[in-house]
Structure 1
Amino acid sequence: MPLSTTPLDLLRAGMGLSQVKRPWYFYTACWSVNAQIELNPGPSTSKSQYLCGHCEEEVTWTQKGILCDTCEQWYHTDCQGIGDSTYDRLSDSRSIKNKIPDLHQLIQQVKPDIISCTETWLKPDIQTSEIFPKDLNFQVFRDDRTSGQGGGVLTAISKHLISQEEPELKTNCNLSWAKITIKGAKDIYIGTYYKPHENDEDSLTELWSSLSKVPQDSTIWLLGDFNLPDIDWSSEVPKSKCRFKEMYEDFIDRINSFNLQQMVKIPTRNENILDLFLTNFPSLVQCTKTIPCLGLSFRKCISRTRYFQGQVVTYLTNSSRRVCGRPPDAVINIEDGTVMCAKNRGIYSANGEVLTFYLSRLLRTNNVPIVIHVRTNATSNFWRHVNYSTLSWEENQLVSLIEWINDSSLSKTRLPPLIYNAFMKGEPITANIINTSKLLDRTPAGIAEIVQWGNMILLDFLTAHSDRHVNLHIADEKSKHPRITSNFTRNLIHTQEGKLWLIDNERTLYQSFFGIKCANNTCLPRRKVLERLLKTICVFQKPVVEALMHHLRKGSVFKTLLSLSASYQFLENNLEIDDEYSLIEDILDNRAAKVVYWIQNCQKRI
């Protein structure tokens, strides 16, 4: 089977995206996009140098480099063995065009009148209608970066407001201006600004020049990523650790000279406020708040994984079917109040949970909760405050801890009628069906739901996780069971914002491939259902497909998966990875090849 074929963007314009690698935030009417890995620029001025952590030579704007978010160290791509294709994939994953369904879900949730976006990574050849289709009803003003990679800003304003672009205010920095005209009130000038480097004084000089052109008798809203982490906004002074104190002090003086106040008081990246909202009429701003992305970035997951591993359990109690499943599982609280499900069902179930989590990340999806491994040890710092013997747990048992999705809006969800209809008829869902079917609510939220179901079906097929789809197995046996779409889907929860969370993944991989029930072939019908279910979907996210094909070409998806999990699960290298896992490798890689083969068949249907 040819695996070198370039993956098809089956979703067409506006539906191929990767997971959000950094949180997106709305500040009243502002949101910004960041990413897990900062790609080069490097410094834009000669006043400071960013040295490569390997060769200790300067990483400049004209060179390809990456910034590690964990150690905050720049590296040349050549020094890290990162080829052009990998660098380009990292670059492409940051573009807003690869995050469109998440953007549309956020719009559906927040219903903003004004959207201010930085780091769009858009080029002039990308149509605005690919990002903001007509039914969203926004007028969009863009300032794309015409050379190099990265950057780019846009301002989107609802068409029920009277707005126009203000090109005469443009200067030589990444900035767009639009004016909103309101009868009987001052015009509002909305600027979206992006400064790529902390010490980019040239960009700030151009910004001040632009601001001086704004009519004095007007309201100013200036929003964006100013990349100034070392301002203490409670006192409006540079922090003690500030490296560019003179530039910071000048920035504070300048915004005061324009009578601007900074409204964002909550950290927007780690502990820093990088995304600002400056206005000369603060009384118009009732509040600002952050809204995190729908799911954590991989970098954030790794950070939380390491954080959880260093915590202490303060409370432990029996689980229930409503919370965390049946005993011997448990519910625990760690010292910061985080609730986690503790599952003690043996090594294969524990490995199933953690490997499914990392497989989802390997495929660039972000809807499997964080999982970590711990071993029971009554004298360890982690367990010393609780007595797990009350649960009949023994020493040195492997337990998987899954972060509980603490969202009051969580609800059960049902199989979408469009997917059920395709399953029963044996006719796959294509882009044409999405555009024409009366069974689909063709709002951004409705389309995003189908996209998420497609990701889930792909992941469940790879891991042979049939528990979520037992209702389809029943429907298949009873032939068009009339109440199937009214039954809730197992091990799947839904947030008010439209996010699907895949929970209870212990019966995957080894358990689903070689479990006791499967040994006597009782699992065979369910496996056939999973294969039929996969063939109901011809609409997949492009980055998910690309990731799967990339890892399959490299050799073994399973070996890559083990390597990834071993990097972040400190117990992984000590686990009893026995000979049975070599069989898992063969089966998982074979199922991955089947997925790619099906996607190539889907291409022929377009």
Structure 2
Amino acid sequence: MRAVSVNSLALLLFCTLACVLHLWGGLERRLERRERDLGPSSAKTFRALLAVPAARTTARFFNVTAGRSGGVDAKRARDNQTNTAELEDDPLEDGVFWSRSLEARLPASFSEDRARAWSLRARAQRVVSLEPGCGRTSNQLATFSDGSRACVRYGINAEQVQGETLAYYLARLLGISNVPPLVLAQPSAEQWAHVRPRVDSLQWSGRAMVSMTEWIANLSGVVTPAPLRPDGSGLRPSVDLGNRTEAELLELVQWSDLVVFDYLTANFDRLVSNLFSLQWDSRVMERNTSNLLKTPHGVLVFLDNEAGLVHGYRVLDMWERYHSSVLRSVCIFRRRTAQRVAALHRYRDARTRLFDLYRESEPLAAQQGFLSDEHARILQDRIDRVYRHILHCKGKYSQL
């Protein structure tokens, strides 16, 4: 009997201790959540980040001219990457558009003011060194007299530099700010006098025209997201987006712009080239996408657009079925991008608007030349196709 009493007492004490530990653990977890809600890290939550003033967020975004990210910005990038909380708001509006609240969370990229300021510096500074570091050997990493850097691209032929330049201005016309600032330059100019021996050793043509784009530090590769792979369901409103993290959704917003941009320019040297390579490389989609990189803060950087527009239009027949397939896989768009496509469709003046922006912004525009009549017609036709595709998506999904 005494043995039973002792066992019962021991069991009672064990149960009491377990309850105390359970309550204490719950209290600790509640206190931790309370600290996260009230402490400095509360800015990591979606709603709190929306409350951060836009100007402050942009000013502290990243330092590309210094060649490295600061400690505060690096920590913010790590916080972004580890944030797996689901969004509280619906990521879509009006069926096929990313929500305004989600777009407000996009990391700052290459604004027009920032691009204009960089362009002025790039045209004014002396080039003090050229070295490898920007892709193929004919390209060079240039350092300016103020210590900033730029990637100098010498095209295999003139249409590549022309295509990259016009693709940059088309992105600006569309309000797509993921393409780094770009200026044209002539290595025969006085700005290049200090590196003339290096230019001669590269065997660049004496009258060559090169493009210079802002050099971005600390970039990493980007793998095509699952919805946009051949075995994926596509980026459509019918896809469940609720279980995606904030960082994943923000990247998908930028992918939707990339698909529109690459279709309009017929750029085959990015996602389309990966699709083509599936014929002999079944795992190509698991590796980094060509000419697409990402900053530590989540900005997708659309690099090396020289295959677009001029060259892309010349070989359009070879790649068109891949371009069309990628465009059909997307039925969610940024509202601003869709509005600008609609305006270019309505007024049918893509050539005029692009030419005016190019001529007003680039002092060497006359020497570099512009789209031929045939290529201008192709551009307008592709704008019309994107517009009709957006209408198709709205008709299919706007009631969701």
TM-score normalized with structure 2 length: 0.71
Secondary structure of the structure 2 residue equivalent to 1:513: helix
Secondary structure of the structure 1 residue equivalent to 2:150: strand
Match of 1:412 among 207, 215, 221: 221
Match of 2:206 among 395, 420, 429: 395
Which residues in structure 2 correspond to 1:211-360 (within 5 Å)? 293-317=107-131, 319=132, 323-345=133-155, 346-360=157-171
1:178-223 Cα offsets, whole Å, 9 max, x none, are xxxxxxxxxxxxxxxxxxxxxxxxxxxxxxxxxxxxxxxxxxxxxx
CA distance in 1, matches of 2:82, 2:204: 49
User: Structure 1 552/302 Cα, relative in aligned 2: closer, same or farther at 3 Å?
Assistant: farther
User: Structure 1 575/433 Cα, relative in aligned 2: closer, same or farther at 3 Å?
Assistant: same
Conservation of the 8 A alpha-carbon contact between 1:414 and 1:486: yes
CA distance in 2, matches of 1:424, 1:133: 26
User: Post-superposition shift, 1:474?
Assistant: 2.4
Mapped pair 1:448 → 2:254: no
Mapped pair 1:435 → 2:241: yes
CA distance in 2, matches of 1:29, 1:563: 36
Match of 1:33 among 27, 45, 54: 54
Mapped pair 1:568 → 2:361: yes
User: Post-superposition shift, 1:527?
Assistant: 2.0
Secondary structure of the structure 2 residue equivalent to 1:400: strand
CA distance in 2, matches of 1:429, 1:293: 21
User: Post-superposition shift, 1:395?
Assistant: 2.1
Conservation of the 8 A alpha-carbon contact between 1:452 and 1:500: yes
Secondary structure of the structure 1 residue equivalent to 2:222: strand
User: Post-superposition shift, 1:32?
Assistant: 2.0
CA distance in 2, matches of 1:473, 1:482: 10
User: Post-superposition shift, 1:545?
Assistant: 0.5
**Residue of structure 2 in register with 1:459 after alignment:** 261
CA distance in 2, matches of 1:596, 1:405: 33
Conservation of the 8 A alpha-carbon contact between 1:556 and 1:585: no
1:240-273 Cα offsets, whole Å, 9 max, x none, are xxxxxxxxxxxxxxxxxxxxxxxxxxxxxxxxxx
Runs of 4+ in 1 over 3 A off after TM superposition: 28-31, 105-108
Conservation of the 8 A alpha-carbon contact between 2:107 and 2:297: no
Secondary structure of the structure 1 residue equivalent to 2:114: helix
Which consecutive unaligned segments of at least 5 residues does structure 1 have?
1-27, 36-104, 113-131, 137-291
**Residue of structure 2 in register with 1:55 after alignment:** none
CA distance in 1, matches of 2:341, 2:384: 9
**Residue of structure 2 in register with 1:86 after alignment:** none
Mapped pair 1:495 → 2:284: no
**Residue of structure 2 in register with 1:595 after alignment:** 386
Mapped pair 1:504 → 2:333: no
CA distance in 2, matches of 1:434, 1:362: 32
User: Post-superposition shift, 1:381?
Assistant: 3.1
**Residue of structure 2 in register with 1:381 after alignment:** 190
Conservation of the 8 A alpha-carbon contact between 2:237 and 2:332: yes
User: Structure 1 544/447 Cα, relative in aligned 2: closer, same or farther at 3 Å?
Assistant: same
User: Post-superposition shift, 1:524?
Assistant: 3.2
User: Post-superposition shift, 1:293?
Assistant: 4.9
CA distance in 2, matches of 1:462, 1:30: 35
**Residue of structure 1 in register with 2:42 after alignment:** none
Secondary structure of the structure 2 residue equivalent to 1:594: helix
**Residue of structure 2 in register with 1:537 after alignment:** 330
1:69-112 Cα offsets, whole Å, 9 max, x none, are xxxxxxxxxxxxxxxxxxxxxxxxxxxxxxxxxxxx98963999
CA distance in 2, matches of 1:434, 1:371: 38
Task: Select the structure with the greater relative contact order (CA < 8 A; seq sep ≥ 6).
Answer: 2
**Residue of structure 2 in register with 1:546 after alignment:** 339
Secondary structure of the structure 2 residue equivalent to 1:467: coil
Conservation of the 8 A alpha-carbon contact between 2:81 and 2:247: no
**Structure with the bigger percentage of strand:** 1
Mapped pair 1:528 → 2:321: yes
CA distance in 2, matches of 1:553, 1:383: 44
Percent identity reads 24
1:439-475 Cα offsets, whole Å, 9 max, x none, are xx51111111111111111100000101102111222
User: Post-superposition shift, 1:133?
Assistant: 5.1
Question: RMSD of aligned C-alpha atoms?
Answer: 2.9
Conservation of the 8 A alpha-carbon contact between 1:376 and 1:394: no
User: Post-superposition shift, 1:550?
Assistant: 1.2
Read off the aligned partner of 1:296 and give its amino acid letter: F
User: Structure 1 111/528 Cα, relative in aligned 2: closer, same or farther at 3 Å?
Assistant: closer
Conservation of the 8 A alpha-carbon contact between 1:352 and 1:507: yes
1:322-358 Cα offsets, whole Å, 9 max, x none, are x312132222111111221111213211111111111
CA distance in 2, matches of 1:327, 1:482: 29
User: Structure 1 488/311 Cα, relative in aligned 2: closer, same or farther at 3 Å?
Assistant: same
CA distance in 2, matches of 1:586, 1:382: 37
Secondary structure of the structure 1 residue equivalent to 2:183: strand
Read off the aligned partner of 1:598 and give its amino acid letter: H
**Residue of structure 1 in register with 2:374 after alignment:** 583
Conservation of the 8 A alpha-carbon contact between 2:107 and 2:299: no
Conservation of the 8 A alpha-carbon contact between 2:87 and 2:245: no
CA distance in 1, matches of 2:325, 2:50: 44
User: Post-superposition shift, 1:134?
Assistant: 2.8
**Residue of structure 1 in register with 2:274 after alignment:** 471
TM-score normalized with structure 1 length: 0.48
**Structure with the bigger percentage of helix:** 2
User: Post-superposition shift, 1:502?
Assistant: 0.8
**Residue of structure 1 in register with 2:45 after alignment:** none
Read off the aligned partner of 1:413 and give its amino acid letter: V
CA distance in 2, matches of 1:491, 1:110: 22
1:245-304 Cα offsets, whole Å, 9 max, x none, are xxxxxxxxxxxxxxxxxxxxxxxxxxxxxxxxxxxxxxxxxxxxxxx9531211221121
**Residue of structure 2 in register with 1:483 after alignment:** 283
User: Post-superposition shift, 1:376?
Assistant: 2.4
CA distance in 2, matches of 1:418, 1:597: 22
CA distance in 1, matches of 2:372, 2:167: 14
Read off the aligned partner of 1:382 and give its amino acid letter: Q
User: Post-superposition shift, 1:31?
Assistant: 3.5
CA distance in 2, matches of 1:330, 1:435: 41
Conservation of the 8 A alpha-carbon contact between 2:170 and 2:354: yes
Secondary structure of the structure 2 residue equivalent to 1:315: strand
Conservation of the 8 A alpha-carbon contact between 1:369 and 1:502: yes
Read off the aligned partner of 1:417 and give its amino acid letter: A
Read off the aligned partner of 1:306 and give its amino acid letter: L
